[in-house]
Structure 1
Amino acid sequence: MRTLDQWFAEYAVSHQNPKNKAIHYICVPAIYFSIVGLLMSIPSGIIANTLKLNAPIIENWAFIVLLFVLIFYIRLSIAMAVKIALFSAICLVVNYYIGQIFPLWAFSIGVFVIAWIGQFYGHNIEGKKPSFLKDLQFLLIGPAWVVENLFSRK
């Protein structure tokens, strides 16, 4: 199993151009955020009926999927898992409130499409294919790479 640093080194190969990196710093979190919103939009009656907590922020498919996503990060780095868990919690709360104002599924699809257009534009500038075309796990490495690059003390 590769270490987080090995994943980052391989991911960084196709993320050298400053414009592409800047685009990724915006679009990768936006895609993550929109996926959380899309998952929250799936009717979750079975989850709510099972848990009976009357807590819509955790009684949804996004929360369940994010628990499994966190297992991936925990295997790589506890510190990174904590950072991603914090970002995930923010995504859950903000998406919940957006869903009180707009149809969450429509908002999330809009953000998702715009962010992916940005991603592919960034890779066009870079002149290299997105990493996830080589290995789908890079879809989870991207958010960690952004967190590491934006908030590390290096």
Structure 2
Amino acid sequence: MTNLERQLSQYAAYHLDRSNIVTHFVGIPLIVFSILCLTARASLDISGFSITLAMLLIGLSSIYYITLDKLFGVLMLILFIVAYPLAVKIASLPMWTWLGASAGIFVVGWVFQFVGHYFEKKKPAFVDDLIGLAIGPLFVLAEFVFLLGFRKSLHERILKEAKMKRAAMDMKTRTVF
């Protein structure tokens, strides 16, 4: 099993309910975008070129995603590049407008997340493993790629492993009581 399969199956074990996955298609992009908005305002000028904290986050997370899977990593980088200019526009708004918009997007994203976990009847993955915060965006991208009918064998392997992990989690929960 590859590291990608391990990470995505661990995350998927908390996300087997279709309604939960659908809410994540909205919530996670909103959360990621809000983080880009919040960090696009912090910058450092080097030789007339402004490097924002958002750029650094995009670069580091893209490197991480590419190490897990080249195709998914490049697709994530493309999505970040597409979203970045709008994040910069929001970051250039007056302080309270920028902060209110960014925080509002963040909160709405998390509301979608928690509604989804209500359907799932499972806590979010990051509660047990903080890497879930980084894997969430990749999970949504992978689910979209799978929904389009691509990389079926990868999807099958992840789903099979996720169901086994979920069964183990459920057994552990039952034995506690």
TM-score (norm 1): 0.85
- Paired residue for 1:138? 132
Mapping for residues 2-151 of structure 1, pairs under 5 Å: 3-42=3-42, 44=43, 47-48=44-45, 50-53=46-49, 59-100=51-92, 103-151=97-145
Deviation digits for residues 111-143 of structure 1, max 9, x if unmatched? 001111221121122110100111111111111
CA distance in 1, matches of 2:103, 2:93: 15
Deviation digits for residues 25-61 of structure 1, max 9, x if unmatched? 111111111101111133x2xx12x1413xx6xx211
Q: Which runs of 5+ in 2 are unaligned?
A: 153-177
Number of residues of Structure 1 aligned to a counterpart in Structure 2: 146
| 8 A Cα contact 1:27 1:116, kept in partner | yes
What root-mean-square deviation, in Å, do the aligned CA atoms of Structure 1 and Structure 2 show? 1.9
**Larger proportion of strand:** 2
- Paired residue for 2:166? none
Q: Compared with structure 1, are the counterparts of its residues 64 and 11 closer, same or farther at alpha carbon in structure 2 (3 Å cutoff)?
A: same
Runs of 4+, deviation exceeding 6 Å: none
Q: Which runs of 5+ in 1 are unaligned?
A: none
> Which SS does the other structure have where 1:108 is aligned?
helix
Q: Compared with structure 1, are the counterparts of its residues 86 and 29 closer, same or farther at alpha carbon in structure 2 (3 Å cutoff)?
A: same
TM-score (norm 2): 0.75
CA distance in 1, matches of 2:47, 2:22: 41
Q: CA deviation at 1:100?
A: 5.0
CA distance in 2, matches of 1:89, 1:51: 22
